[in-house]
Amino acid sequence: MKYRAVKGTRDLLPPESERFAAAEGIAREVFSSYGYGEVRTPVLEATELFARSVGETTDIVHKEMYTFPDRKGRSLTMRPENTAGVVRALIEKGLQDMPRPIRLWYCGEQFRYEQPQKGRYREFRQIGAELLGIPGPEADAELLLMLFDFLRRLGFADLSVTLNCVPSRDGRQRFAEAVRAHVSPQADRLGTDDRRRLEENPLRLFDSKDAQTRGILEGAPTSPEFLDDSARAHYERLKQLLSIMKIPFTENPSLVRGLDYYTVTVFEVVSRGLGAQDAVLGGGRYDNLIGDLGGPDMPAIGFAIGEDRLLDVAPADPRPLREVFFVVPFSKEQLAYALEVARRIRRHDPAAVVDTDLSGRGFKKGFARAAQVLEDSSGPYPFRVSEVRVISLGPEEEARGTLKIKALSTRVEESVNLSSFERGPGR
């Protein structure tokens, strides 16, 4: 083998690629029903954008970014997340004059230089949403409701969101100092990365996956102790709203999340199917980010779902069930007729999927392939196969203009006139 996919990247082929497309289709349906429109931003952004938004001292910016100079020496980065790009795009288009709220969703590839392992890649996909312009907890509640609608549509039954409220500005500073004071006496037990975090940004210690560090953090001060009155009221009201809407949640006062821009509400959803500390999704408020990036002062909240991880743990294949027509000519003699029959069926029902056996190798091989499609559902189709209707075309059928149609799972066979597949409406 000469050429291989770059380490940490992977190819998605059917049916896997179709599962991704189906999940994205469900996202589009659910998010559209909440009034969201899709946003697509470039993979490449100026490096500075991520340094300013995600934060210089986060793992992402510090050691995970794909950053390189272009031919003119500008520093570019392949996006490690999508919120910064969306905010940049909106500011560039004139965010201050847009009617509020702004509801946008996206899906696309993200890039982080990490050690590849199960559920962790260097190129991965995120599905996310951003709600801009509403400061109140009702925005948080609506966003979480939408998120749960989406997860339920994918078949998740007993998920619960882990919730916390993090202080901003002054409170954040005091919180960081308190954590530093708690950890400093045991600094020599920290690894190099965590010692750097302690120096530069102690709150990032909460992202550490080092068991030793996590031990030291037990009993450390937690964010709720540093909230101001308005953040506290916001958080209390959000919890009430979630209870009213029957969205299950648990509180985790040391949940901080790995991006510096989060303020007030933060949340994640962890699935038991993944490694103990691997979240399927994360999100939160970013009330200061838009202003920090040069836009108007505007509150916002969003989430990002790791699509690869989501599909790893999804309880069901997200593709819908549908039936396929399988047109099998008796020999090469009937190939032209097979093409015509397939076309008639598609014209009659534009949504029908008609797979024609172009090999002309006869009924036996054709039926065998059809049976295989029904059995393992691993065809290239954007749906799972509920039934295969085999249409076998011999010289007699061609002469008489009839079709023998056999439903493979029920074994019911019928004979119909080709003329019964009339042109459908609009064709």
Binding positions for ligand ATP, rule: CB under 6 A = 81, 112, 114, 119-121, 124, 126, 258, 278-282, 304, 306, 308-309
What single-letter DSSP state applies at residue 390?
E
Record the tokens describing residue 113, joined without a space: 């230089």
Residue 145 Cβ, how far from ligand ATP at the closest point, in Å?
Answer: 19
What is the maximum span of the chain, computed from C-alpha positions, in angstroms?
91
* Residue 28 or 120 with smaller CB distance to ligand ATP: 120
Which residue, judged by CB position, is nearest to ligand ATP in the bound state? 306
3-state secondary structure of 154: coil
Residue 282 Cβ, how far from ligand ATP at the closest point, in Å?
Answer: 3
* Residue 123 or 317 with smaller CB distance to ligand ATP: 123
Residue 308 Cβ, how far from ligand ATP at the closest point, in Å?
Answer: 5
What single-letter DSSP state applies at residue 64?
I
* Residue 121 or 325 with smaller CB distance to ligand ATP: 121
Question: Any bridge partners for residue 162, and if so which?
Answer: 250, 268
* 370-387 CB burial, b ≥16 within 10 A, e <16: beebbeebebebbbbbee
Residue 59 Cβ, how far from ligand ATP at the closest point, in Å?
Answer: 7
* Rounded distance between C-alpha atoms, residue 161 and residue 249, angstroms: 5
* Rounded distance between C-alpha atoms, residue 136 and residue 142, angstroms: 11
Residue 29 Cβ, how far from ligand ATP at the closest point, in Å?
Answer: 21
Order of strands across the sheet that contains 384-393 = 353-356, 321-329, 384-393, 402-407, 413-417
What single-letter DSSP state applies at residue 63?
I
Of 258, 6, 271, 8, residue with least CA distance to 118: 8
* Residue 33 or 277 with smaller CB distance to ligand ATP: 277
Residue 295 Cβ, how far from ligand ATP at the closest point, in Å?
Answer: 22
* Residue 279 or 341 with smaller CB distance to ligand ATP: 279
Residue 162 Cβ, how far from ligand ATP at the closest point, in Å?
Answer: 12
Residue 180 Cβ, how far from ligand ATP at the closest point, in Å?
Answer: 22
* Rounded distance between C-alpha atoms, residue 233 and residue 249, angstroms: 18
* Residue 306 or 366 with smaller CB distance to ligand ATP: 306
* Residue 277 or 372 with smaller CB distance to ligand ATP: 277
Question: How many Cβ atoms are within 10 Å of 427's Cβ, its own excluded?
Answer: 10
* Residue 129 or 280 with smaller CB distance to ligand ATP: 280
Residue 129 Cβ, how far from ligand ATP at the closest point, in Å?
Answer: 12
Name the region of 128 (left: φ>0; alpha: ψ -120 to 50; beta: rest).
beta
Question: How many Cβ atoms are within 10 Å of 184's Cβ, its own excluded?
Answer: 12
* Residue 258 or 296 with smaller CB distance to ligand ATP: 258
Q: State the number of CA atoms in the 13 A half-sphere of 136 facing the CB.
A: 5
Q: Going along 181-299, which residue ranges are E strands?
A: 249-251, 263-270, 279-285
Question: Which contiguous run of DSSP H or E holds residue 306?
Answer: strand 300-306
Q: Distance from CA of residue 306 to its chain's centroid?
A: 5
Inter-residue contact 96 to 27 (CB < 8 Å): no
Residue 385 Cβ, how far from ligand ATP at the closest point, in Å?
Answer: 29
* Residue 280 or 345 with smaller CB distance to ligand ATP: 280
